[in-house]
Structure 1
Protein backbone atom coordinates (compact mmCIF):
# COMPACT_ATOMS: atom_id res chain seq x y z
CA UNK A 1 0.00 0.00 0.00
CA UNK A 2 1.16 3.48 -0.76
CA UNK A 3 1.49 6.14 1.89
CA UNK A 4 -1.05 8.97 2.00
CA UNK A 5 0.29 12.53 1.96
CA UNK A 6 -1.82 13.99 4.77
CA UNK A 7 -0.76 17.56 4.01
CA UNK A 8 -1.86 17.17 0.38
CA UNK A 9 -5.23 15.67 1.36
CA UNK A 10 -5.76 18.42 3.93
CA UNK A 11 -4.99 21.04 1.28
CA UNK A 12 -7.46 19.47 -1.16
CA UNK A 13 -10.11 19.42 1.58
CA UNK A 14 -9.21 22.99 2.57
CA UNK A 15 -8.44 21.91 6.12
CA UNK A 16 -5.91 23.50 8.43
CA UNK A 17 -4.47 20.75 10.60
CA UNK A 18 -2.12 21.00 13.53
CA UNK A 19 0.93 18.74 13.60
CA UNK A 20 -0.82 16.51 16.14
CA UNK A 21 -3.91 16.22 13.95
CA UNK A 22 -1.76 15.41 10.91
CA UNK A 23 -0.01 12.61 12.79
CA UNK A 24 -3.32 11.21 14.11
CA UNK A 25 -4.95 11.32 10.68
CA UNK A 26 -1.86 9.76 9.11
CA UNK A 27 -2.17 6.83 11.53
CA UNK A 28 -5.87 6.44 10.70
CA UNK A 29 -5.10 6.51 6.97
CA UNK A 30 -2.49 3.81 7.58
CA UNK A 31 -5.05 1.65 9.38
CA UNK A 32 -7.57 2.13 6.59
CA UNK A 33 -5.03 1.26 3.90
CA UNK A 34 -3.98 -1.79 5.90
CA UNK A 35 -7.58 -2.97 6.07
CA UNK A 36 -8.01 -2.40 2.33
CA UNK A 37 -4.85 -4.44 1.80
CA UNK A 38 -6.37 -7.30 3.79
CA UNK A 39 -9.53 -7.15 1.71
CA UNK A 40 -7.48 -7.24 -1.48
CA UNK A 41 -5.89 -10.51 -0.32
CA UNK A 42 -9.21 -12.31 0.17
CA UNK A 43 -9.65 -15.17 -2.30
CA UNK A 44 -13.03 -14.69 -3.95
CA UNK A 45 -12.58 -17.32 -6.63
CA UNK A 46 -15.91 -19.06 -7.10
CA UNK A 47 -17.75 -16.73 -4.72
CA UNK A 48 -20.92 -15.03 -5.83
CA UNK A 49 -21.38 -17.29 -8.82
CA UNK A 50 -24.13 -19.35 -7.23
CA UNK A 51 -26.75 -16.72 -8.06
CA UNK A 52 -27.55 -15.79 -11.62
CA UNK A 53 -28.30 -12.07 -11.65
CA UNK A 54 -30.00 -12.32 -15.03
CA UNK A 55 -32.88 -14.41 -13.69
CA UNK A 56 -34.37 -11.84 -11.34
CA UNK A 57 -38.12 -11.94 -10.85
CA UNK A 58 -40.23 -8.95 -11.86
CA UNK A 59 -43.01 -8.55 -9.31
CA UNK A 60 -45.24 -6.49 -11.60
CA UNK A 61 -45.36 -5.81 -15.30
CA UNK A 62 -43.66 -2.63 -16.42
CA UNK A 63 -46.13 -0.74 -18.54
CA UNK A 64 -47.69 2.65 -19.09
CA UNK A 65 -50.60 3.52 -16.82
CA UNK A 66 -53.07 6.33 -17.30
CA UNK A 67 -52.38 9.21 -14.94
CA UNK A 68 -55.03 10.79 -12.74
CA UNK A 69 -53.54 14.22 -13.53
CA UNK A 70 -54.11 15.68 -16.96
CA UNK A 71 -51.81 18.16 -18.67
CA UNK A 72 -54.77 20.49 -19.15
CA UNK A 73 -54.95 20.87 -15.35
CA UNK A 74 -51.64 22.73 -15.55
CA UNK A 75 -52.47 24.88 -18.58
CA UNK A 76 -52.16 28.12 -16.58
CA UNK A 77 -48.70 27.11 -15.37
CA UNK A 78 -47.22 26.04 -18.70
CA UNK A 79 -45.48 28.44 -21.06
CA UNK A 80 -43.61 27.22 -24.18
CA UNK A 81 -43.82 23.59 -23.01
CA UNK A 82 -42.18 24.45 -19.65
CA UNK A 83 -43.58 25.08 -16.20
CA UNK A 84 -43.71 28.78 -15.35
CA UNK A 85 -42.40 29.42 -11.82
CA UNK A 86 -41.60 32.58 -9.88
CA UNK A 87 -38.07 33.89 -10.36
CA UNK A 88 -35.77 33.35 -7.37
CA UNK A 89 -32.58 34.82 -8.83
CA UNK A 90 -32.23 38.55 -9.26
Structure 2
Protein backbone atom coordinates (compact mmCIF):
# COMPACT_ATOMS: atom_id res chain seq x y z
CA UNK A 1 0.00 0.00 0.00
CA UNK A 2 1.58 3.26 -1.10
CA UNK A 3 -1.06 5.77 -0.01
CA UNK A 4 -0.05 8.48 2.43
CA UNK A 5 -2.16 10.20 5.04
CA UNK A 6 -2.18 13.99 5.17
CA UNK A 7 -1.29 14.53 8.83
CA UNK A 8 -2.10 18.24 8.69
CA UNK A 9 -5.60 17.48 7.41
CA UNK A 10 -6.19 14.82 10.09
CA UNK A 11 -4.93 17.21 12.78
CA UNK A 12 -7.22 19.96 11.50
CA UNK A 13 -10.23 17.61 11.50
CA UNK A 14 -9.36 16.57 15.07
CA UNK A 15 -8.83 20.22 16.08
CA UNK A 16 -5.20 19.51 17.02
CA UNK A 17 -2.28 21.86 16.63
CA UNK A 18 0.88 19.93 15.78
CA UNK A 19 4.39 21.28 15.32
CA UNK A 20 6.71 19.99 12.57
CA UNK A 21 8.28 17.36 14.83
CA UNK A 22 4.86 15.98 15.82
CA UNK A 23 3.73 15.93 12.19
CA UNK A 24 6.81 13.88 11.24
CA UNK A 25 6.22 11.51 14.18
CA UNK A 26 2.59 10.87 13.20
CA UNK A 27 3.44 10.57 9.51
CA UNK A 28 5.83 7.73 10.44
CA UNK A 29 3.16 6.11 12.65
CA UNK A 30 0.56 6.30 9.86
CA UNK A 31 3.03 4.74 7.41
CA UNK A 32 3.43 1.82 9.81
CA UNK A 33 -0.33 1.41 10.13
CA UNK A 34 -0.79 1.51 6.36
CA UNK A 35 1.95 -1.10 6.05
CA UNK A 36 -0.01 -3.45 8.30
CA UNK A 37 -3.20 -2.77 6.35
CA UNK A 38 -1.32 -3.63 3.17
CA UNK A 39 -0.31 -6.97 4.68
CA UNK A 40 -3.94 -7.69 5.61
CA UNK A 41 -5.10 -6.78 2.10
CA UNK A 42 -2.59 -9.26 0.66
CA UNK A 43 -4.18 -12.22 2.47
CA UNK A 44 -6.33 -14.27 0.13
CA UNK A 45 -9.64 -15.53 1.47
CA UNK A 46 -11.60 -17.87 -0.77
CA UNK A 47 -15.30 -17.39 -1.40
CA UNK A 48 -16.01 -20.81 0.13
CA UNK A 49 -14.50 -19.60 3.43
CA UNK A 50 -16.82 -16.61 3.56
CA UNK A 51 -19.86 -18.71 2.72
CA UNK A 52 -19.17 -21.40 5.35
CA UNK A 53 -18.18 -19.25 8.32
CA UNK A 54 -21.31 -17.48 9.55
CA UNK A 55 -19.28 -15.37 12.01
CA UNK A 56 -17.75 -13.57 9.00
CA UNK A 57 -21.13 -12.56 7.59
CA UNK A 58 -22.25 -8.94 7.96
CA UNK A 59 -24.96 -8.17 10.49
CA UNK A 60 -26.89 -4.93 10.07
CA UNK A 61 -28.84 -3.09 12.73
CA UNK A 62 -31.39 -0.36 12.23
CA UNK A 63 -30.15 3.04 13.41
CA UNK A 64 -32.32 4.78 15.97
CA UNK A 65 -32.15 8.50 16.56
CA UNK A 66 -32.73 9.65 20.12
CA UNK A 67 -32.89 13.15 21.56
CA UNK A 68 -30.42 13.66 24.39
CA UNK A 69 -31.75 15.26 27.57
CA UNK A 70 -28.31 16.83 28.10
CA UNK A 71 -27.14 19.92 26.21
CA UNK A 72 -23.51 20.18 25.02
CA UNK A 73 -22.87 23.00 27.49
CA UNK A 74 -23.69 20.62 30.37
CA UNK A 75 -20.94 18.20 29.33
CA UNK A 76 -18.02 20.48 30.13
CA UNK A 77 -17.07 23.95 31.27
CA UNK A 78 -14.42 24.01 28.53
CA UNK A 79 -16.53 24.57 25.41
CA UNK A 80 -15.01 26.25 22.36
CA UNK A 81 -17.04 26.67 19.13
CA UNK A 82 -19.42 23.83 20.10
CA UNK A 83 -16.49 21.51 20.86
CA UNK A 84 -15.15 20.36 24.22
CA UNK A 85 -11.56 21.55 24.53
CA UNK A 86 -9.36 19.05 26.35
CA UNK A 87 -5.74 19.30 27.43
CA UNK A 88 -3.12 18.11 24.95
CA UNK A 89 -2.17 14.51 25.78
CA UNK A 90 -0.09 13.58 22.73
CA UNK A 91 3.55 12.95 23.51
TM-score class, shorter: 0.5 to 0.7
The alignment covers a number of residue pairs equal to: 56
Q: Distance in 2 between matches of 1:51 and 1:8?
A: 39
**Deviation above 3 Å: which 4+ runs of structure 1?**
48-53
Spell out the pairing of 1:1-90 with structure 2 (5 A cutoff): 1-45=2-46, 46-52=48-54
Q: Structure 1 length normalisation: TM-score?
A: 0.53
Return the index of the structure with the highest Cα Rg.
Answer: 1
CA RMSD of aligned residues (A): 2.5
| 1:43-75, Cα deviation, whole Å (9 max, x unpaired) | 11143443456xxxxxxxxxxxxxxxxxxxxxx
Q: Distance in 2 between matches of 1:11 and 1:88?
A: 27
Q: Which runs of 5+ in 2 are unaligned?
A: 56-68, 72-91
Q: Structure 2 length normalisation: TM-score?
A: 0.52
